[in-house]
Structures are given as structure tokens and as C-alpha cells.
Chains A and B, each alone.
Chain A
Amino acid sequence: MAEAIFGAEAIFGTAAVFEKFPDEPAVKALASLATDAKYDRDELTLTVARESVVAACQALREAGYIFFEDVTAVDWYPSEPRFQLSYSLLSFKLKRRVRLVVRLAGDDASIDSITPIWPAANFYEREVFDLFGIHFGGHPNLRRIMMPEDWEGHPLRKDYPVEGYR
């Protein structure tokens, strides 16, 4: 069970997390891909580079995290790298979820789509594209989903005023 493997105190850094949870399938799967790791508040967060997101998702799916929950972004404007993409994956068997994080620079906010692995990412990636302006390469239908087609700007960016531009 989850309690047996995970403790309570926060741990930062790949070395410390990998040492603490050597048997965790997500850690094993991303042993070579993870650039950073965090274990905080009973949640495992693994960071990978932008180029390896598809490989990382594939590896996690093979490790048992077969259910894609969602992907969303956080805009850390004005600091760089500006965008943080958080993928949430769930394992039915382990009854545990893992968060996969990718950081993107503000002037080159694009990443490969994971729709070939999980078609469920379709709407979520469209939502992130619509509200944050992050481009997903290889997405079959990357159009605005919430806002009208002719909308200008990406509302969930931090430099977009809460009241809008009008």
C-alpha cells in the first residue's frame, strides 16, 4: 500500500528520491530520464526534459501508470523557465498517482503532444493551448476549445489581466 512506501517528510532531488523509493515503478521507469524529483505531501513529482516527454509517458505507462488524468500548466511569469506543465498519471493497480513535470521557456513554449499514447490528452492539450498558448506538436486538432476561435491572447497567462483587455 501507499503508506508502506511513502513517508511524510518532503524530499528533493533525484538522488534523494531515488534512494528513498528504489522499488517505486515510476522511479525505476524514469531512472535515466528524470532531471529532477520531489516527494512532498505524499505526492511524487518527477521532472523530465521537454524532448523526453513522450518517452517518459511511454515508460510510465509501461510501469503501470496506465491512466492519464489530466495535463495543465502553471505560468511562472516573469521568471524563467516560464511554463510548468503538470501531467497527472494514475495507476489502478498501485492505487497511486505520479505527477510528471516539464518546464518550458516563455519564448519557445512548444512540446510534443502525447495524444498518440493517450487519446484522452486531446481535450486537455487543447485547453492548455487555448488558455496558455503552449503549442503541442503532432496534436491532431490543436484549436481553441474554451474561448471563441477569434479570441486574442491566452487568458490564464499571468500577464493577461483578470478583467480582460477591454
Chain B
Amino acid sequence: MAPIAAPDQINPGIEDVVADSERRHHGNDPVSDQTMVINMGPQHPSTHGVLRLVLEIDGETVVSLAPDIGYLHTGIEKTCEAKFYQQVVPLTDRIDYLAPMINNTAYALAVEKLLGLEIPPKAQWLRVLFNELMRINSHLVWLGTHAMDIGALTVFLYCFREREQLLRIFEAVSGQRMMTSYIRIGGVSLEPPIGLFDDIRAFLADFPSKIDQYEGMLQNNPIWIQRLKGVGYISPEDAIALGVTGPPLRAAGIDFDVRRDMPYSSYEKFQFNVPVSTDSDVWARYILRMQEMRESIKICLQALDGMPEGRIVADSPKVILPDREQMKTQMESLIHHFKIVTEGFAVPAGEATSSVEAGHGMMNYYVVSDGTAKPYRVHMRNADFANLQALETMCKGRLLADVVAVIGSIDIVLGAIDR
């Protein structure tokens, strides 16, 4: 791999953007010879939440740009330190709220690494199944909002029609549409209800034709093509230097997917392709995500076909809540239940990092334990946070309207950035 050439300049801060604009008086704009500083967000509909951008523009061209984040900062990492390990799971849902089960998986993997728990195959297969359904869910919201930002309003309604089916599946399995907390330390929380797999199969059988529908609406649309092709280029060297992961990294030609290259939760037993492109523009990222949805369908079907029998949680009575039946008939189980609920469970001291491929890119959880029942430190590395740093490189010298297309193409969720 080629050595990294660091981008000439590190992303400026807001004050730098303003200060630079005051220094510059050589604009190309025929009307004015000065650049202008404008504010975009945090209530702007195309910033996907509460992202604020400060842009310096010369006519319609972006000269420099600085993201201002933190409007959604809720101190989740601090809150985690005051909760028992199991109580952290619902907090992780709220980080990347479009794919809560992927967050749950990442957190559970880190704690299981500290505990040394062995996860039964059925739980691993269920994790894979719901991780992939969550990826489709996340990509559907991306596609709908991305198309809406660019002006194709209809696609949004179609995407949310399919997303509704997915949310019903999540509700059936966990009791919650969005904040599912389904994947727990040691396995998953509930046995899937009878008939759920048939519903998922029906959805998966139908979904490829739905993807064709979206593509039918967008792929040959001249406006869509012109707004996407060649926009938001980033070189592979810059992408690595700026910490970009996920579809934007693969669109830049770096063939890396955590699911395939550093498999977790039995992903090594599934066959799927990792789409890669070298164009590295908004169009390439769009094509890649559409292909990823099709690959996810393949993985889901493999998970359903090969779903093993057996337990859905690890066999570790001191960590896993006992079966209700056992709890009411066996003294030991009742004691364990009481202990886990009131005191939590102690986790051996140490530190562990888990890494998963979320819809937006690589998601790492770093959990430090001091041997007590509460995590000493939980840190989340979300792809969104790092990918946002690449926004300036992708937008510089392009038109102001392209900024909206590029934000859509890096697919950010502000919950995951601000935490």
C-alpha cells in the first residue's frame, strides 16, 4: 500500500474559517471581490440532525468549511460509568439510533471478551441476522434522506414503506420498534416468536424487487446522475489519513470490511462479497450501499437457513439471568437472579476493544474494567465522527449545493457523533 501523504492542511476550526475570510480579498465572484461566511444548521433539514457547518464561500464555491458538533452531546460515556454492565445496553441503542442492534453487538462483544464468555451458535446466528437487517434499515434511511436532500422526494416514501416492515420485525422480536436492546451480554434477550422467521423470509423475498424499484427511480434520472457523479472526491491516501471507514473508504478503493477481515460473531462462516469501487465520489458510495443491501439479504438468508438449535444465551449463571421457570423452582437460580439484578456482576479487571462493521463504517467499543460491577470506562469509536473530518477535503472547491450531497453520502447520525 502506498505511504500516506498527509493532506496539506488539517481541518480548520470555525474561528479559522472566519479569520481566513477576513484576510482574503481575491474572490472570483463577478459581483463581489470578497468571500462570504455563512452558517448552515444546526436546524438545517439536510444536515441529518443537529450538525452545524460554518462555510466560507466565494460566490457559489466552497473555500473552506468547519463542522461544529456537540449539540446532541448527552454524556453517554459518563453515564455508562454509573450503571451496571447490563444497564449500559439500552444506552448504546441511543448512539447510532438507526442501527441499535449493531451498537448492542459491539458493546456485548467487548464485555464478553473481558468476561471470557462463550456465546452459543444460535445467539451468534441471531446476532448476524439482526445486524444485517439493521444494516438494511440504516441504509434505507440513508437512501431516503439522501435522495430527499437532492430533491427526489418520492424515494423517501418508498424507503420508509420497507423500513416500516423492518421495524415491525424488530418489534416482534424485542418488543420495541427502534430502541431494541435485543442483543445482551452473553447472547440475545428473547427467543424469536413463532412465525417470525417466515415474516423475515417474506420480507427478504420481496426486498430485491424493492431495491430494483429504488434504482428504477434514481439510476437513470439525469438530475440524480449529475448531482452525484464526480462530486465529493477523496483520494485513498487522504481517506486513510483522515480515518474514514465504511462505504466511503471502500468507495475510495480500500478493500476493508471488518465482517470479512476481522470476523466477529461467526461472520467467517457466511459467504458474501464486499463491494469496492475506485471512483470515490458520491455516486460510487451510492452504488456501494445499494450493493451492500443486496449482500445483506444474502447473509440474512444464510443465517435463516443455517440457524442452529440450542440456547440463546451463554451458560454462565453468575452473569446471565436465569430462566423464569428455573427461578421459580430452584433456590440457586433465585439467588443468582436476585444477585444479578441488585448487585450486577463483577467483570475481571482489564481492557478490551471490540470492532464491528456498522452501517456507517467501523464501530469500536473500548471497555475498561477495574473488577467491579460497573464499567470503569466505556468509549465508543463511531465511524460517523471520523468520517465527518473528511467533509472538508471532499467539499473544498466544489459548489455549495454539493455540500448537501456529500453530507448525505458520508451518512452521518449525530447521535453517534456527539454521544
A residues near B, CB below 8 A? 2, 40-43, 45, 61, 66-70, 72, 74-75, 86, 88, 92-93, 95-97, 99, 115-120, 122-124, 131, 140-141, 143-148, 155-156, 160, 162
Contact residues in A for B4 (Cβ distance below 8 Å): 61, 66
Contact of B1 among A75, A88, A93, A96 (CB under 8 A): A93
Closest-by-CB residue of A relative to B255 is: A92
5 extra interface residue pairs, beta carbon distance < 8 Å, beyond A2-B262, A119-B241, A120-B243: A69-B362, A70-B364, A70-B386, A74-B377, A146-B418
Q: Is the interface of B mostly helix, strand, loop or mixed?
A: mixed
Instruction: Report Cα–Cα, A79/B385, bound state, in Å.
Output: 31
Please tell me which stretch of B55-63, B220-228, B348-356 contacts chain A, meaning at least 4 of its Cβ atoms lie within 8 angstroms of it: B348-356
Contact residues in B for A72 (Cβ distance below 8 Å): 366, 377, 379, 381
B residues near A, CB below 8 A? 1, 4, 6-7, 10-13, 15-16, 69-70, 73, 75, 77-79, 81-82, 113-114, 116, 240-243, 254, 256, 261-262, 350-353, 355, 362, 364, 366, 368, 376-377, 379, 381, 385-386, 388-389, 418-419
Question: A41 and B10 in contact (CB under 8 A), knowing A118-B241, A120-B389?
Answer: no
Instruction: Report Cα–Cα, A18/B351, bound state, in Å.
Output: 20
Contact residues in B for A117 (Cβ distance below 8 Å): 6
Contact residues in B for A148 (Cβ distance below 8 Å): 70
Contact residues in B for A61 (Cβ distance below 8 Å): 4
Instruction: Report Cα–Cα, A40/B418, bound state, in Å.
Output: 31
B78:A120 contact, CB within 8 angstroms = no
Contact residues in B for A160 (Cβ distance below 8 Å): 78
Contact residues in A for B386 (Cβ distance below 8 Å): 70, 120, 123-124
Distance of B91 from chain A, by nearest CB (Å):
13
Contact residues in B for A140 (Cβ distance below 8 Å): 10, 12
Instruction: Report Cα–Cα, A84/B100, bound state, in Å.
Output: 29
Question: A97 and B355 in contact (CB under 8 A), knowing A66-B4, A162-B79?
Answer: yes
Distance of B127 from chain A, by nearest CB (Å):
19
A145:B70 contact, CB within 8 angstroms = yes
Can you list 9 contacts pairing A with B, beta carbon distance less than 8 Å? A43-B351, A45-B351, A67-B240, A70-B379, A95-B261, A123-B388, A155-B75, A160-B78, A162-B79
Question: A74 and B70 in contact (CB under 8 A), knowing A41-B113, A162-B79?
Answer: no
Contact residues in A for B75 (Cβ distance below 8 Å): 155
Instruction: Report Cα–Cα, A162/B75, bound state, in Å.
Output: 9
B389:A145 contact, CB within 8 angstroms = no
